[in-house]
């Protein structure tokens, strides 16, 4: 047989060989680092026997699938450690995940001390270096095997496997686990391990099932890599908006108000207000006209739009259709309201495009398990807009919406942090979620595909993620924990104009249906604030800071001068405070740094006599003395241009 390797080279063998033996034939070093194999694109165990011509790739920890096998093996080591120290614990599942692994056990919760003990036991198991051996059993034997070992969850998993499934196990020493693999050849290949957390989890993710104890962990081939990862975790904690935003007094939540209903505090409101004014001014300069529409409407409106049939479970409904004459719902979107603004008067082809913008407060009945800080809430505000356009204007206007979104991302300094997605309908499920004919969907999706390709924007396609009335471009970003959220959406809608009987009069005097673009320019203000907190670890660009300058008199003698400095700065609409607390100067400087104020101005006798300020910034540290007017001119220019300065002085 001929085996073609990743680099195109070929190996010829006269008899069948396992993947690990082929790896050894290539090089002993490769075999030592091998985690799994890939035969003709399918990930396989290292023990898999190759018996015919194929393409073979030996996967190491540097490959994504190799990492998965490495982490999956480590989860088995964890399970063995738990069974050694807690023999009554019952095994459930222990997969690899995007970063590391977890294993769920039916047993009491583990505190940090218990995790440390388990970690020490895992290191003993790894040092013992037991080989992992794969074996298979017929269904009835497999069930009895796990029943005899007192593992009811494994029995349930076996019973749920298809009749023709291969039921495989892996043995390492005295420990055996039901598993499809792939796995490393031996536990000794694991060089560095850390158990990172423990939490509760429902069996099979179903809230009606028993609550289990989940342990998360990670492992690496080098101690230095583990150290770097743990430092990364600390950075995540430092940046987590849910923690940092509260510490900075940007927002808070209160149980009696409700989950997913954050209170934006004065500092947070100041940031959101700055963003909102910027977005509204920018949209105005691009030809948008603004509307202000109700926060609720009768169910009749949502029945016309289709939201009542397709989105009712995600809405807050006020009233009962069987009992009440009128039933209202808080709006989950603004589009049908703006359609009636359009329909208030007859439009000519010369009136289009019409670009409606609104800073919209919306309400969505998110599941309680999805709530998180500012990223997933039940009431939020977005930079919403709807463009009513002629079909011949659609491509240009769609491109302009993308250009506006990219301008916003670039200005906020997050342009490199996003991915683009073409969210498509699912042709296999047209009746349950989507309206319109297949040819309309195929045509509009191709238009978006063409636009993205023409703009040279890399994108992925997500089937089933479209809105029920049209495909869209979703611009997504990951939070510090790696979870991806949609930040900006631009939708192509060729269907709803008909449902709302929207039209314009063309040059021939005929009624014609317009197209509609649903879009956000920056997205949800709350989610964007969370994104920026994590991006900048609270050290926002100066133009976004809720406090941009703090003036510190070195003693009470210079309090009046400090106030006069603050007053002159405030005249230029700069957020400035003077700190007159009876504290030492060093303390007040440290406090200003902890508050992430970009500029600290120290004033005393010399500064008062010469009309200057001593400038300390988080960008350059001690910048020395500057005339007050020069400082004001400099910071005004920084704010005007929305500059993002490199931070060289850690706070």
Q: Do both 548 and 527 map to the same domain?
A: no
List the structure tokens of 570: 């405030």
CA angle 378, 380, 385 (to 5 degrees): 130
Alpha helices per DSSP H over 306-414: 307-310, 335-343, 394-412
| Rounded (5°) CA angle 372-376-378 | 110
Given a contact cutoff of 8 angstroms between Cβ atoms, the answer to whether 489 and 472 are in contact is yes
What does the pLDDT read at residue 224? 96
DSSP state string for 427-461: TTSHHHH--S-HHHHHHHHHHHHHHHHHTT--EEE
pTM assigned to the model: 0.82
Strands (E), 203-238: 211-220
| Residues 6 or more apart whose Cβ sits within 8 Å of residue 112 | none
Residue 167 near residue 159 (C-beta atoms within 8 A):
no
Co-location of 488 and 568 in the same domain: no
How many angstroms separate the CA atoms of 332 and 310, rounded? 12
State the average pLDDT over residues 611-625.
94
**Is there a domain that residue 234 lies in?**
no
Our measurement of the distance from residue 149's CA atom to the centroid of its chain's CA atoms, rounded to an integer in Å, reads 41
Q: Which of 479, 513, 534 is the last residue of a domain?
A: 534
Question: CB of 546 within 8 A of CB of 245?
Answer: no
Q: What share of the chain is helix, strand, coil (3-state, %, to 5)?
A: 40, 30, 30
Among candidate residues 60, 88, 104, the one where a domain is terminated: 60
Contact indicator for 492, 517 with CB cutoff of 8 Å: yes
Domain at 47, CATH number: 3.10.20.30
Give me the mean pLDDT over the 446-454 stretch: 96
**459: closest CA among 418, 399, 515?**
418
* Residue 580 labeled ligand binder: no
397 and 289 co-located in one domain: yes
The tally of CA atoms less than 13 A away on the side-chain side of residue 206 is 5
Same domain, 297 and 363: yes
The full 3-state SS of 552-610, as one line of letters, equals EECCHHHHHHHHHHHHHHHCCCCCEEECCCCCCHHHHHHHHHHCCCCEEEEECHHHHHH
Residue 451 lies in a domain: yes
* CATH number of the domain where residue 454 is located: 3.30.930.10
Count structural domains, the chain.
4
Together in a domain, 209 and 190: yes
Mean pLDDT estimate for the chain: 94
pLDDT average, residue stretch 333-342 = 95
Secondary structure of residue 30 in the 3-state scheme: helix
∠ CA 92-201-101, rounded to 5°: 65
Task: Identify the CA nearest to 578 among candidates 618, 549, 557, 544.
Answer: 549
State the pLDDT confidence band at 176, using cuts at 50, 70 and 90.
very high
DSSP helix/strand/coil, 482? coil
CATH of the domain at 156: 3.30.980.10
Reported as a single tens digit per residue, the pLDDT across 251-275 is: 999 999 999 999 999 999 999 999 9
Angstrom CA distances, 28 to 20, 32, 49, 143, 585, stand at 10, 6, 18, 39, 64
Tokens of 426: 């699912």
Residues 133 and 221 in one domain: yes
Give the C-alpha separation, 343 to 173, whole Å.
Answer: 75
Output the CA torsion 619→621→625→630 (10° steps).
0
Which segments within 302-394 are labelled E, that is strand? 317-318, 328-330, 354-363, 379-389
Describe the crossing of helices 438-454 and 394-412 by its angle, rounded to 10 degrees: 50
Residue where one domain finishes, among candidates 173, 207, 225 = 225
Least Cα distance to 642 among 540, 555, 561, 553 occurs for: 540
**Residue 235 forms part of a structural domain:** no
> Is residue 478 predicted with pLDDT exceeding 50?
yes
Q: Tell me if 335 is assigned to a ligand binding site.
A: yes
Q: Which residues does 32 contact at the CB level (< 8 Å), separation at least 6? A: 189
610 φ/ψ angles, rounded to the nearest 5 degrees = -110, 0
Q: pLDDT-derived band of residue 207, with 50, 70 and 90 as boundaries?
A: confident
Has residue 409 got a pLDDT over 70? yes
Q: What pLDDT is stored for residue 651 in this prediction?
A: 47
Of the ranges 302-316, 407-421, 592-606, which one carries the lowest mean pLDDT score? 302-316
Write the pLDDT tens digit of every residue in 491-500. 999 989 999 9
Quick one: average pLDDT of 88-113?
A: 95
Q: Is residue 198 part of a domain?
A: yes
Residues 467 and 501 in one domain: yes
In a domain, 649, yes or no: no
- Output the CA–CA distances (angstroms, integers) from residue 396 to 36, 118, 399, 455, 523, in the order listed: 49, 60, 5, 12, 21
Cis status, amide bond into 639, omega within 30 of 0: no
Cα–Cα distance for residue pair 611/625, rounded to 1 Å: 10
Residue 518 annotated as part of some ligand binding site: yes
Based on the domain organization, do 522 and 553 belong to the same domain?
A: no
CB 466 within 8 A of CB 400: no
Residues 264 and 130 reside in one and the same domain? no
Tokens of 403: 């250009």
Contact 165, 134 (CB under 8 A): no
Are 212 and 283 within one domain?
A: no
| H runs (alpha helix) in 455-540 | 496-499, 525-536
Q: Residue 72 pLDDT > 90, yes or no?
A: yes
Which tops the pLDDT comparison, 104 or 164?
104
Percent of the chain with pLDDT over 90: 87
Task: Say if residue 201 is in the same domain as residue 266.
Answer: no
Q: Confidence band (pLDDT; 50, 70, 90) for 383?
A: very high
Domain for residue 430, yes or no?
yes
pLDDT at 368: 76
Residue 632 sits in the same domain as residue 489: no
Backbone torsion region of residue 150, taken as left when φ is above 0, otherwise alpha when ψ lies between -120 and 50, otherwise beta: left
Half-sphere exposure of 280 (CA within 13 A, CB side): 14
pLDDT beyond 90 at 223: yes
| 357 phi/psi in degrees, rounded to 5 | -125, 145
Q: What is the CATH number of the domain that holds 582?
A: 3.40.50.800
- For residue 305 the two structure tokens come to 């739009």
576, part of any domain: yes
Instruction: Give strand pairing partners of 559.
Output: none
Contacts of 316 (CB under 8 A, 6+ apart): 329, 330, 363, 365, 378
648 within a domain of the structure (yes/no):
no
- Residue 482 in this model has a pLDDT that exceeds 90: no
Average pLDDT over residues 390-405: 97
* Structural domain range at position 276: 251-534
């Amino acid at each position: 047989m001929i085996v073609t390797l990743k680099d195109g080279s070929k190996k010829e063998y006269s008899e069948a060989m396992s993947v690990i033996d082929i790896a050894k034939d290539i090089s002993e070093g490769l075999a030592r680092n091998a985690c799994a194999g890939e035969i003709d694109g399918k990930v396989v165990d290292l023990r898999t026997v190759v018996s015919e011509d194929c393409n073979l790739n030996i996967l190491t920890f540097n490959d994504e699938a190799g990492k998965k096998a490495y982490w999956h093996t480590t989860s088995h080591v964890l399970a063995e450690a738990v069974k050694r120290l807690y023999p009554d614990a019952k095994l459930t599942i222990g997969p690899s995940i995007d970063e590391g692994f977890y294993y769920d056990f039916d047993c009491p919760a583990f505190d940090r001390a218990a995790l440390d003990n388990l970690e020490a036991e895992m290191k003993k198991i790894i040092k013992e270096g037991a080989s992992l051996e794969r074996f298979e059993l017929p269904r009835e034997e497999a069930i009895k095997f796990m029943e005899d070992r007192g593992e009811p969850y494994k029995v349930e998993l076996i019973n749920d496997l298809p009749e023709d499934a291969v039921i495989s196990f892996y043995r390492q020493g005295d420990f055996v686990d039901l598993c499809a693999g792939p796995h490393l050849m031996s536990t000794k290949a694991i060089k560095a391990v850390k158990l990172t957390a423990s939490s509760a989890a429902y069996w099979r993710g179903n809230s009606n099932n028993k609550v289990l104890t989940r342990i998360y962990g990670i492992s690496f081939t080098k101690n230095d890599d583990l150290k770097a990862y743990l430092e990364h975790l600390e950075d995540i904690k430092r940046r987590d908006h849910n923690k940092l935003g509260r510490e900075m007094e940007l927002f808070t939540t209160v149980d009696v108000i409700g989950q997913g209903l954050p209170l934006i505090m004065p500092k947070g409101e100041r940031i959101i207000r700055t963003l909102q004014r910027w977005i509204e001014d920018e949209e105005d300069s691009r030809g948008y006209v603004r509307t202000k529409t109700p926060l609720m409407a009768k169910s009749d409106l949502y029945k016309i739009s289709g939201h009542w049939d397709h989105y009712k479970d995600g809405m807050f409904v006020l009233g009962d259709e069987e009992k009440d004459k009128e039933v209202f719902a808080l709006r989950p979107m603004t589009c049908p309201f703006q359609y009636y603004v359009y329909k208030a008067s007859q439009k000519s082809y010369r009136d289009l495009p019409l670009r409606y913008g609104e800073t919209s407060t919306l309400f969505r009945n998110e599941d309680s398990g999805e709530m998180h800080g500012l990223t997933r809430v039940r009431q939020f505000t977005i930079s919403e807009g709807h463009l009513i356009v002629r079909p011949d204007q659609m491509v240009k206007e769609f491109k302009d919406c993308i250009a506006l979104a990219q301008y916003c991302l670039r200005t906020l300094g997050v342009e490199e942090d996003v991915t683009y997605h073409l969210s498509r309908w699912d042709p296999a499920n047209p009746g349950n979620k989507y309206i319109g004919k297949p040819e309309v969907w195929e045509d509009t999706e191709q238009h978006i595909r063409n636009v993205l390709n023409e703009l040279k924007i890399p994108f992925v396609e997500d089937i089933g993620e479209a809105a029920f009335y049209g495909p869209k471009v979703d611009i997504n970003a990951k939070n510090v924990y790696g979870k991806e959220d949609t930040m900006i959406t631009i939708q192509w809608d060729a269907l709803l104009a008909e449902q709302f009987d929207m039209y314009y009069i063309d040059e021939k005097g005929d009624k014609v249906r317009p197209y509609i673009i649903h879009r956000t320019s920056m997205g949800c203000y709350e989610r964007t604030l969370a994104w920026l907190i994590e991006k900048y670890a609270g050290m926002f660009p100066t133009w976004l800071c809720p406090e941009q300058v703090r003036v510190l008199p070195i003693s009470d003698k210079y309090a009046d001068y400090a106030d006069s400095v603050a007053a002159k700065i405030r005249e230029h609409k700069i957020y400035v405070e003077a700190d007159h607390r009876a504290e030492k100067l060093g303390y007040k400087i440290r406090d200003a740094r902890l508050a992430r104020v970009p500029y600290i101005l120290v004033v005393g006798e010399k500064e008062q006599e010469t009309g200057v300020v001593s400038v300390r910034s988080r960008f350059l540290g001690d910048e020395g003395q500057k005339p007050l007017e020069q400082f004001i001119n400099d910071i005004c220019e920084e704010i005007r241009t929305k500059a993002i300065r490199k931070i060289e002085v850690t706070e």
